[in-house]
Amino acid sequence: MIFWKFYPSIDLHGEYTTTAYTVIHEFLKEQQKLGKEYVVIIHGKGTGKLKEEVHHILSQESIVLEYHLDPDNLGQTLVHINTNVN
């Protein structure tokens, strides 16, 4: 989808799976505070380990409504965030 390039994104290239949680959690919380409903997490294709970890983290985040791989770029995941801050 061409519109995803206009959404906030974070590039995790070179990030370790062990530190990915903190980076992703902080990014999502900040974007939620800013009222951003959609974000992009760039994890690359590589071996798939980072993508798997990103998806595991997203499945555990209470503010994530849904997420899926970008069909036009399998190296990034599109995320829908609940912007209703409790």
Residues 36, 7: contact at Cβ < 8 Å?
A: yes
- Dump pLDDT digits (tens) for 18-76: 899 999 999 999 999 999 999 999 999 989 999 999 999 999 999 999 999 999 999 99
pTM, two decimal places? 0.91
Q: Which domains does the chain have, with CATH numbers?
A: 2-81 (3.30.1370.110)
- How far is Cα 8 from Cα 41, in angstroms, rounded to an integer? 9
